[in-house]
């Protein structure tokens, strides 16, 4: 175990300041500071508030993680950080902190993709991911079916939502029901008391001619809002538990159906589910049921590792180190719209990847002589704030 890479991971893509430390597949620390309470009264994450909170929480959270793990910063083999996607200003705080620590400590820096991290985190729970891995990634900003032959370098989208992300639909429906923000956990709780068959809400993109692996949750969200409005207009009570359970059932029915189909079609005998919505209790139970029926092995991390955290970033960083992947240069940008196919971000001045083998670490990672040459790009990034990460 001592020769496995010891990596610290920093996550600041949304409202959680997460710092995790792992050694290989072993979780040593998972420190989190959340600004969720500061956003609750606005009904959604306010980017400027999140950035400020990250700035205040960053150093104490890093110190707490090192203390929890019982390791010295000088022992680390690398610093990994979410380079995107997410809120631009929030990402910049994490990326800047990671650069500062990596530079000061003389450690390699790894800018990684938030979405691939949501998949890789399962190595901390269930050991090495099979290759390829079939992953259903469901979060506040994304809903995708992904086939990953190599989680450090090759992630292929099979399908994705064409409108709202699954978590976004949970949050919007919770708002309609007056359940506060974030909505996923509240709907999950209320749904336990309700009847999932009470109301037949639509299952998006499940017709014979619809794309097999794509999702759509916007029509479902509107159907729920119309149903609730009609009840209120008639002066009737809204049965919150039944609406929550019926809505939730519509979401997880489609997610699990399409995920099992993707496994079958691609000859993959296991399914990984990641992202904040993977914390949903009904998604977990229905996925288990359907996977067992189809002879598919299900891998879902415990709920605390499904929602945003630093350990997932450290897990992907450790895998990059273990596989000798190139580290990032110190002009690593934060990319708010980083595509899921870009598992890691080399940095602006990184040499052409075709000029070097995958095991070739960048010679300047300890020197930090780069940076500053592409300042206009960083300014551009700052203007790309979006609401969901």
The binding site for ligand KG4 (CB under 6 A) comprises: 14, 139-141, 167, 170-171, 182-185, 188, 275-277, 279-280, 307-308, 389
Q: Which two tokens stand for residue 60?
A: 């104490």
Residue given tokens 């809505």 in the structure block: 247
**Nearer residue to ligand KG4 within complex by CB, 57 or 102:** 57
Answer yes or no whether residue 122 interacts with Zn ion by CB under 5 A.
Answer: no
Minimum Å distance from CB 251 to ligand KG4?
8
**Nearer residue to Zn ion within complex by CB, 122 or 331:** 122
Minimum Å distance from CB 276 to Zn ion?
6
Burial 198-235, CB ≥16 within 10 A → b, else e: ebebebbbeeeeeeebbbbbbebbebbeebbeeeeeee
Minimum Å distance from CB 283 to ligand KG4?
7
Query: Based on C-alpha coordinates, what's the Rg of the chain?
Result: 21
Comparing C-alpha atoms, which of 161, 153, 154 is closest to residue 137? 161
| From the list Zn ion, ligand KG4, none, partner contacted by residue 307 (C-beta under 5 to 8 A by kind) | ligand KG4
Q: Which two tokens stand for residue 250?
A: 């519509």
**Nearer residue to Zn ion within complex by CB, 36 or 73:** 36
**Nearer residue to ligand KG4 within complex by CB, 5 or 111:** 111
Minimum Å distance from CB 184 to ligand KG4?
2
**Nearer residue to ligand KG4 within complex by CB, 307 or 365:** 307
Beta-strand runs (E) in 336-376:
344-345
**Nearer residue to Zn ion within complex by CB, 164 or 308:** 308
Q: Which of 12, 117, 139, 328 binds Zn ion (CB under 5 A)?
A: 139
Burial 93-111, CB ≥16 within 10 A → b, else e: bbbbbbbebbbebebbbbb
Number of residues in contact with Zn ion under rule CB under 5 A: 2
| From the list ligand KG4, Zn ion, none, partner contacted by residue 247 (C-beta under 5 to 8 A by kind) | none
Minimum Å distance from CB 250 to ligand KG4?
13
Q: 142 and 165 in contact (C-beta within 8 Å)? A: yes
SS3 sequence, 197-265? CCCCCCCCCCCCCCCCCCECCHHHHHHHHHHHHHHHHCCCCCCHHHHHHHHHHHHHHHHHHHHHHHHHH
| From the list Zn ion, ligand KG4, none, partner contacted by residue 331 (C-beta under 5 to 8 A by kind) | none
**Nearer residue to ligand KG4 within complex by CB, 12 or 152:** 12
Comparing C-alpha atoms, which of 8, 33, 189, 15 is closest to residue 112? 8
Q: Which of 16, 308, 335, 381 binds Zn ion (CB under 5 A)?
A: 308
Residue whose Cβ sits closest to Zn ion: 139
Q: Which residues of this protein are in contact with Zn ion, per CB under 5 A?
A: 139, 308
């Amino acid at each position: 175990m001592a020769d496995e890479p010891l990596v610290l991971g920093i996550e600041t893509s949304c409202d959680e300041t997460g710092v995790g430390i792992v050694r290989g597949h072993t979780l040593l620390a998972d420190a989190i500071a959340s600004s969720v309470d500061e956003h609750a009264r606005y009904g959604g994450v306010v980017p400027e508030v999140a950035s400020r909170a990250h700035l205040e929480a960053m150093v104490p959270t890093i110190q707490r993680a090192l203390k929890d793990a019982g390791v010295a910063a000088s022992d680390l083999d690398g610093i990994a950080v979410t380079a995107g996607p997410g809120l631009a200003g929030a990402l910049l705080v994490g990326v800047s902190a990671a650069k500062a620590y990596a530079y000061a400590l003389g450690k390699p820096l790894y800018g990684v993709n938030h979405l691939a991290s949501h998949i890789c985190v399962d190595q901390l729970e269930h050991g090495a991911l099979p290759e390829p891995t079939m992953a259903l990634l469901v979060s506040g900003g994304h809903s995708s079916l992904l086939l990953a032959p190599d989680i450090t370098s090759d992630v292929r989208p099979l399908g994705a939502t064409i409108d709202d992300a699954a978590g976004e639909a949970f949050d919007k429906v919770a708002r309609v029901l007056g359940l506060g923000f974030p909505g996923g956990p509240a709907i999950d709780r209320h749904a336990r008391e309700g009847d999932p068959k009470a109301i037949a809400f639509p299952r998006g993109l499940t017709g014979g001619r619809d794309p097999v692996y794509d999702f759509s949750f916007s029509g479902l969200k509107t159907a729920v809002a119309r149903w609730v409005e009609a009840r209120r207009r008639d002066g009737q009570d809204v049965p919150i538990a039944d609406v929550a359970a019926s809505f939730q059932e519509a979401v997880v029915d489609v997610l699990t159906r399409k995920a099992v189909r993707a496994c079958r079609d691609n000859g993959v005998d296991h399914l990984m589910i990641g992202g904040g919505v993977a914390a949903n209790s009904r998604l977990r139970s229905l996925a288990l049921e359907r996977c067992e029926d189809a002879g598919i092995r299900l891998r879902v991390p415990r709920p605390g590792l499904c929602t945003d955290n630093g350990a997932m970033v450290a897990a992907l960083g450790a895998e990059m180190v273990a596989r000798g992947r190139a580290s990032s240069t110190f002009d690593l940008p934060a990319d708010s719209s980083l595509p899921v196919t870009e598992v890691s971000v080399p940095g602006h001045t990184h040499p052409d990847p075709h000029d070097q083998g995958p095991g070739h670490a960048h010679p300047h990672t300890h020197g930090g002589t780069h940076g500053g040459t592409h300042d206009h790009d960083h300014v551009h990034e700052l203007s790309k704030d979006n609401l969901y990460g």
